[in-house]
Amino acid sequence: MPPLNTEETRWFVAEVQPHERSLRSYLNRTLPSFADVDDTVQDCYSRILHAKKKGQVRSIRPLLFAIARNAVHDFFHSRARSATIPITEAAPMAVLEDRPGVVESICRQQELALLSDAIHALPSRCREVILLRKIKGYSQREIATMLGISENTVEVLAAKGTRRCAAFLKARGLGRQE
């Protein structure tokens, strides 16, 4: 392991680390799991250190959060792309299986990718509420406390987000056809 650059370490501790709490808070509202948050924080730190080495750092906080937004975009983009399942089969399939078939699995993966796109297309506050309520399973009261808004506002934003997601999916041929 190469020796640590003490000047770079001092810069990181003084300039970047004080923003870790707000960075983690932003990422917790955006990403599905704590492990993803930890990985993305490390990715953000790596990217900002790389920018520092190139001499491209003027304002730390705006750059750090721009990097975080790009890292979150990259996370969802790569997850949607890696959700595809190869069609090749290594072993012969039994005639009767309890598991869903290949076609059903591929369809489910495509539907999940579309749902991810639908959630990503929501306004930011609405997306936060949907992720906290529907994905992470927080109660309306917990979300209201975390975001500093009323429970009624949480309910309205959740309903609005659900309707927009349903419309997004319907426009792409999924969901109930009326």
Q: What is the CATH number of the domain that holds 17?
A: 1.10.1740
Whether residue 47 is contained in a domain is answered as: yes
- pTM of the predicted model over 0.85: no
End of a domain among 82, 113, 135? 82
Determine contact, residues 121/107, Cβ cutoff 8 Å.
no
**SS3 string of 4-15?**
CCHHHHHHHHHH
**Amino acid identity for residue 60 in this structure:** I
109 with 78, same domain: the answer is no
Q: What is the CA radius of gyration of the chain?
A: 21
Whether residue 89 is contained in a domain is answered as: no
Q: How many domains does the chain have?
A: 2
pLDDT single digits (tens) 5-56: 788 888 889 999 999 998 888 888 888 888 888 899 999 999 998 888 888 7
Q: Give the HSE-up count for residue 39: Cα atoms under 13 Å, Cβ half-sphere.
A: 10
The one-character DSSP state at 131 is: I
Which range marks the domain in which residue 165 is found? Answer: 103-171
pLDDT single digits (tens) 50-74: 888 888 778 888 888 888 898 888 8
Whether residue 93 is contained in a domain is answered as: no
Whether residue 87 is contained in a domain is answered as: no
76 with 118, same domain: the answer is no
